[in-house]
């Protein structure tokens, strides 16, 4: 369900959201992402729509502000992973 790059990125950068690691292996990361219903998005526009639909006030947020949101992980391919902790 989640791309390999999303799993690797989350494993590497999970400390942005959590004080302690929630996953130590790719399998644990994938399970955690499934549990919290993380979403992969193709663009920042999709990120904004998702966050807006989830009740986050994104009006007036620039692309940089969306990228810098703690729950948004930029993937190497240019896609984004959204993890609501």
Instruction: Report pLDDT digits (tens) over 7-43.
Output: 999 999 999 999 999 999 999 999 999 999 999 999 9
Give the pLDDT confidence score for residue 85 in this predicted structure. 67
CA distance 45 to 26: 28
Taking only the tens place, the pLDDT of each residue in 39-70 is 999 999 999 999 999 999 999 999 999 999 99
Instruction: Name the β-bridge partners of 38.
Output: none
CA distance 75 to 8: 9
Strands of 1-85, DSSP E: 39-41, 72-74, 80-82
Six-digit token pair at 84?
């609501």
Q: Looking at the chain, how many residues does it have?
A: 85
- The neighbour count for residue 44, using CB atoms within 10 Å, is 19
Contact between residue 83 and residue 17 where contact means Cβ atoms under 8 Å apart: yes
């Amino acid at each position: 369900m989640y791309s390999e790059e999303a799993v690797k990125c989350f494993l590497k950068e999970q400390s942005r959201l959590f004080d302690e690691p929630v996953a130590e292996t790719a399998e644990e990361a994938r399970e955690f992402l499934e549990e919290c219903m993380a979403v992969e998005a193709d663009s920042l526009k999709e990120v904004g729509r998702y966050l807006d639909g989830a009740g986050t006030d994104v009006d007036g947020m620039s692309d940089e502000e969306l990228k810098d949101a703690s729950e948004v992980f930029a993937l190497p391919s240019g896609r984004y992973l959204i993890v609501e902790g």
